[in-house]
Structure 1
């Protein structure tokens, strides 16, 4: 079930100062967005609980049982290919005592909890629980079919694996339909990475890192920055690949060289 949307503790109008239509300077967002716990909870709900996220590429797990682990927001997850060839994304938390089940990447025929040896198949269904499902010690009140690893809503688009925690969100394939047509000539669903994608965590706030190319002419002025002259009269919304109504925004980086 999808989480109910929360109201921002900071008035939305306070964010106007951090956005420009190309006719003036842009200033930092309200400081509370970086340090306030209440805004953090709002942000986790509004962003991570109600949007599609790319969590890797299907070619990184080509065989049945191939998997890798990842965290999205505050949720540890397993991205795994099942025996039918489908890519599933499962909670990486045992339903018994909350232990992390798998780490890193690899191939497995089953998912076993390191604490009490509860065993799940690669579809996330519980198959055995010592002391509860053993023939000589079976607990009649325990129904093994009632237990499974929560499965996260998943779509594979052009080879990329996307997930959302919002069951009511429109299908990703609908939102990206126009973009898929625009990128058709590149055949990106056939591309393969030379090495598997590795997600890394960094100890800084993502809102500080996220920036437009206002800095390019200065920070990168001695290298590639001069190839992309700063244009204050245009905005990212003018890029032909954008679909603002569907939340698709990209940079208009066109080199003069």
Structure 2
């Protein structure tokens, strides 16, 4: 499919007008480096003096260079052993920020009647807070095991399974569509890393946000500069007329 840059840093591929937010019923977001500005696992690792080591694994996983995402996450979480919950609170309070346009896009989607789903290979410690902060309807992410206020270096199995990887993100998107009584083509999926591709491939509209090259190349929309609310700019351009 031919890519078309309709304005600086905003690229579309394989879609034609009209395109309207009201055509969709669900928007699904990745969290780390998509809805928020950091990779939480890397920042937690900083408290253990292991940020460089963990960040290197994260970067390779997001580029799609690690085939077994679950094992890569287990390796990274093992390196977090001994980090305190207080240190995670500090990450949330001092390092984590919503990415530009995130709150505006979520609010616009909710106003248009869409439900909002947050799926993350990150952790409930952060997704629960972002859920409450933005009024998100559904979440799925991983739970870190804590004993005596310290991370054990393990994750806790949950009723749906062990680790939220790319396949689990896709499964959750499809399950949420079924719960809402809608078709996957009525869903938007927004992500930045290789583990977002399965859900992006199942959605009616896939959006890459400041993404890895392989994700940009497969997404229907690539936001390469500016904030998440540039999706609203795209909708405005494509709602009633052809893109010049």
Per the normalisation by structure 1, the TM-score is: 0.23
> Which has the greater radius of gyration?
1
Which protein, 1 or 2, shows the higher relative CO under an 8 Å CA cutoff with sep ≥ 6? 2
Q: Specify which structure has the higher proportion of helix.
A: 2
Normalising by structure 2, we get a TM-score of: 0.24
